[in-house]
Amino acid sequence: MAPWILVALALFAHFGLRLAFYNRLNSLGWRRRTIKRVEKIAFVETFVTPLLIVSLWYAPIERYAISGGGIDVLPWGLRWYAGFHLLVGGVLLLDWIRWRPIFGLQRADVKRFTQIHRADREAKLRFARSDKCRVAARIPGNQIFDLAVERIEVRLNRLPPELDGYRIAHLSDIHLTGDLEPESMAEVIGHAMSWHPEMFVLTGDIVDVNECVEWLPGLFSSAAALDGGFFILGNHDTRVSDPQEVRDAMQSAGWHDMGGRCQTIRMRQTEVMMMGNEWPWFGRPSDSEIERAAGEFDTPPLRFCLSHSPDQFPWSRRHDVDLLLAGHTHGGQGRLPLAGPILSPSWYGSRWASGDFYRPPTTMHVSRGLGGVHLLRIHCRPELSLLTLRCGEG
């Protein structure tokens, strides 16, 4: 292999490892201020390190890459640095490739019907509430104002026959920042209501700024379903001065707070077990709580879990969850053709950035979410998930 190609690959691996670090950093339950500080330091290091290396060792790099000198012309520290990045970066790259959506690894066998609602110029201007939002509306290819209504049939092996065809409207990552008028979210709820769901669920990241907390009762009281609405909080809900105010506002809208809880609920008069997992930012049910709740059933119950992050997939499998609903990753916020998502705030990178996954006994649906602090989405439309449960193996 030509020396200059190895140099280019080492540089590519350098940036790839920083991207992997960024994804995993944003999966942690650290304080937002701490994460942002580390983020800024890491961003600076990402670009300073290559510049520093070139400034210190330009001559030996030039002799190796361009003039055809042997590897021994490079300082041992530079050889170690490049070798480490090529080795670790190569392993991570191979793992990243095998998890691309086109290969379907761990993908659940679901039926999906998508209806796209494209926002015209008039709608963008009507919903834009801030200058930042009006600027975003002019960016070519930005899909933040569009909506993909995804009707998905999910098969669950232990679904009781009486729940076959049960309809759940799944909302996630609304991110009320004040940049968009609340009517934009009301329109999404209107699309869900026209489908006549039997239950609403919301998997976190509801509010980013205090002023929007007062919007919640008016918005979500209209999201009415026969078996009610259930919600949990996410990491962005820690940005308000008191997350309990978000919980109180949602409950005043008639929704049930499942954060860190495990309890029996009714679906078509059938008792099932519902869990709310807000880890690592808030709580999740303990093993003893789950065992105690399961002990109230005569036979092993159907188990549902609302989790903000798909990182709780292994936890859900350990606790025999049948259906896990999650968000947090925004589908990567942007997706490349064939390659799919790159950015994803998850300990598992972009493995579970969005879609439907199955590892016995758990089927997981990860929504791309409905909003975002960064008003930019490329090939990654906001998603309203309308789930129909079916009997059968996922």
pLDDT per position as a tens digit, 266-275: 999 899 999 9
Residue that finishes a domain, picked among 66, 98, 130: 98
* Cα–Cα distance list, 90 to 10, 12, 17, 83, 193 (Å): 10, 10, 10, 10, 48
- Write down the pTM of the prediction: 0.94
Mark whether 166 and 282 lie in a shared domain: yes
pLDDT at 133 > cutoff 70: yes
Mark whether 345 and 213 lie in a shared domain: yes
Mark whether 86 and 178 lie in a shared domain: no
Question: pLDDT value at position 175?
Answer: 97
Residue 275, exposed/middle/buried by CB under 10 A (0-12, 13-18, 19+)? buried
pLDDT at 393 > cutoff 90: no
Question: pLDDT value at position 73?
Answer: 84
Domain of residue 82: give its range. Answer: 3-98
Give the CA-trace dihedral at 337, 343, 348, 351, to 10 degrees: -20
49/44 Cα distance (integer angstroms)? 8
Question: pLDDT value at position 1?
Answer: 60
Question: pLDDT value at position 394?
Answer: 66
Mark whether 381 and 306 lie in a shared domain: yes
DSSP secondary-structure letter at 227? T
Joined tokens for residue 328: 């947090």
- For the ranges 23-32, 73-82, 146-155, 383-392, the lowest mean pLDDT is seen at 73-82
pLDDT per position as a tens digit, 84-126: 999 999 999 999 999 999 999 999 999 999 999 999 988 898 9
pLDDT at 4 > cutoff 90: no
Residue that finishes a domain, picked among 71, 98, 125: 98
